[in-house]
């Protein structure tokens, strides 16, 4: 029976099993069950409130009574939450110094300092550079026969773009993917002690590396983003060194994780919908709209969390400070109340107000850059490898929050 609150509903019984590979491969039937069951559903396994409807995800992201953190208002103890285990200290120190885990006024101050580098205009100016990098990558794979599209193209493009933008020397870039992968282990549901230790070890190495780079940039100033931020630190009290390191790590990680997975998820969605792939092959002017639709259809970021900061009722259910909401972006994007025929991939869909880049004050800072990268990569592959075909059915990584394929084998 449908109730507003979905009280008494067991999400696992409806198929919501984030550790199960069958669910990870296709979470959408379970999402439909959750949406039918109610607007806010308690998950006893994670002690979170699941929010599956578009209208609620969109509204709660903009509602300041919920936050990415509560530590700007109260301690863990005051919020009734456990202290962080000591072995996660380095991870949390790094993450809480990045803008994604800040709330105003710190969030406003630090986001403003980095936002200038990512405005739609600045990013449009990068388009020729992104195209040049993509042209180089495609030259390497054309004629190679069968390749893994993820390791050859999908990873290399966004890692190189964000590394160039920040000013990470070429010789050091091979560290970025492994550091990011270790840190991202903490974003999955119920991380283990091993995950915490691995993420903290990577956080220490990554921070030490950036601290050293900052020292170098002080002696030899550069025009890149890190060079610019070093001057801001040195000019006064607008940015601390720890905030700069936390935010640069965020930019470097967020600047490629989602784009890599989106490229794989997007091509896999096209291969499962051959009529739409043909439509795109016949009309490349569809690429920008197709990217938006692929992002809606199978977002690489399935869920984001928010802490309850004050007593509120959500559809009649009282939630209290220190409780946590699990906002299901993947479900919001398939909500029939927001999209006609939501389970159909329609590359011409317009309007397409998907939730994939979030909403509210934490709306993705890199959205314009992500779009340019995806448009360039899909557009170039369509032009230069017009018959690229699937060579093997891909497998999903066993991750739910940041969800993507292990590899995508194609023949060019």
Residue 405 is a binding residue for ligand HEM (CB under 6 A): no
The CA-based angle 37-42-44, given to 5 degrees, is 125
User: Is residue 111 involved in binding ligand HEM (CB under 6 A)?
Assistant: yes
Closest-CA residue to 399 (of 152, 259, 191, 212): 191
Q: Find out whether 43 and 50 touch, Cβ atoms under 8 Å.
A: yes
48 binds ligand HEM (CB under 6 A): no
The span of 29-37, 142-150, 257-265, 269-277 binding ligand HEM (CB under 6 A) equals 257-265
Residue of 365, 382, 401, 410 that binds ligand HEM (CB under 6 A) = 365
Residue 150 touches ligand HEM, criterion: CB under 6 A: no
| Shortest separation between residue 348's beta carbon and ligand HEM, angstroms | 20
Size of the site for ligand HEM (CB under 6 A): 25
Does 123 help bind ligand HEM (rule: CB under 6 A)?
no
CA 89 to each of CA 85, 201, 203, 242, 245: distance values in angstroms, whole numbers, following the listed order: 7, 10, 10, 14, 16
Which residues neighbour 331 within 8 Å (Cβ) at sequence distance 6 or greater? Answer: 27, 28, 31, 34, 35, 52, 53, 57
Binding mask 313-352 for ligand HEM (x = CB under 6 A): ----------------------------------------
Our finding on whether 258 is near ligand HEM (CB under 6 A) is: yes
What is the footprint of ligand HEM within residues 161-180 (CB under 6 A)?
A: 162
Give the 3-state secondary structure of residue 111: helix
Give least dist CB 44 to ligand HEM, A.
Answer: 23
CA distances from 269 to 26, 152, 290, 358, 412 (A): 12, 19, 11, 21, 18
Contact map string, positions 178 to 217, toward ligand HEM, x by CB under 6 A: ----------------------------------------
Backbone angles phi, psi at 400, to 5 degrees: -105, -50
Judge residue 232's burial from the number of C-beta atoms within 10 Å of its C-beta, 0-12 exposed, 13-18 middle, 19 or more buried.
middle
Binding site for ligand HEM (CB under 6 A): 68, 99-100, 111, 118, 162, 250-251, 254-255, 258-259, 262, 300-301, 304, 356-358, 362, 364-366, 369-370
């Amino acid at each position: 029976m449908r109730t507003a609150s979905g009280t008494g509903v067991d999400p696992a019984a409806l198929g919501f099993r984030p550790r199960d590979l069958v669910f990870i491969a296709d979470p959408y039937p379970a999402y439909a069950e959750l949406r039918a069951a109610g607007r806010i559903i308690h998950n006893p396994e994670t002690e979170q409130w699941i929010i599956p409807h578009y209208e609620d995800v969109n509204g709660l992201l903009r509602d300041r009574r919920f936050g990415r953190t509560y530590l700007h208002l109260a301690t863990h103890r005051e919020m009734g939450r456990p202290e962080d285990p000591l072995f996660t200290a380095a991870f949390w120190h790094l993450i809480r110094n990045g803008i994604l885990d800040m709330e105003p006024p710190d969030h406003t101050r630090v986001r403003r300092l980095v936002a200038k580098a990512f405005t739609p205009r600045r990013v449009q100016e990068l388009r020729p550079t992104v195209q040049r990098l993509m042209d180089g990558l495609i030259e390497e794979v054309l004629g190679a026969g069968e390749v893994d599209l993820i390791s050859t193209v999908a990873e290399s493009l966004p890692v190189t773009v964000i590394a160039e933008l920040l000013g990470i020397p070429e010789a050091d870039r091979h560290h970025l993917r492994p550091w990011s992968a270790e840190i991202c282990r903490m974003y999955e549901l119920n991380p283990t002690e091993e995950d915490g230790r691995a993420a903290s070890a990577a956080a220490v190495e990554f921070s030490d590396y950036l601290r050293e780079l900052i020292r170098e940039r002080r002696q030899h100033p550069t025009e890149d983003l890190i060079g610019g931020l070093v001057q801001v630190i040195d000019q006064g009290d607008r940015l601390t060194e720890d905030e700069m390191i936390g935010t640069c790590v965020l930019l470097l990680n967020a600047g490629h994780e989602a784009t890599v997975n989106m490229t794989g998820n997007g091509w896999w969605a096209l291969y499962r919908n051959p009529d739409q792939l043909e439509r795109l092959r016949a009309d490349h002017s569809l690429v920008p709209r197709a990217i938006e639709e692929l992002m809606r259809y199978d977002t690489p970021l399935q869920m984001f969390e928010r802490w309850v900061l004050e007593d509120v009722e959500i559809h009649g259910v009282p939630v209290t400070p220190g409780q946590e909401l699990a906002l299901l972006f993947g479900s919001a994007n398939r909500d029939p109340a927001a999209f006609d025929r939501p389970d159909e991939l329609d590359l011409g869909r317009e309007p397409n107000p998907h939730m994939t880049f979030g909403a509210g004050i934490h709306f993705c800072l890199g959205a314009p850059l992500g779009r340019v990268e995806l448009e360039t990569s899909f557009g170039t592959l369509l032009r230069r490898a017009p018959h690229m075909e699937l060579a093997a059915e891909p497998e999903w990584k066993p991750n739910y929050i940041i969800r993507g394929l292990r590899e995508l084998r194609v023949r060019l």
